[in-house]
Amino acid sequence: MDGELFPERVAWRPGPVITGHVVRLMEGYSREVRIGQPVLVAVLSTAGVFKVVLLLLASVLRAGAAAGASRKWKDLRKGPEFLVTPLRLRDGSGVLCEMEIHGHLPQSALEPSDHVQVTVRSQKDAGLAPRVERIVNLTTGQLLTPRVPTLWSHLGPALLTQAAVGLLLIGGILAWIVVGR
pLDDT at 174: 86
pLDDT band at 119 (very low <50, low <70, confident <90, very high): very high
Give how far Cα 31 sits from Cα of 24, 40, 80, 144, 146, Å: 20, 19, 8, 20, 15
pLDDT, tens digit (0-9, with 9 covering 90-100), for 75-114: 777 777 888 889 999 988 888 989 999 888 876 788 888 9
What are residue 115's phi and psi, to 5 degrees?
Answer: -90, 120
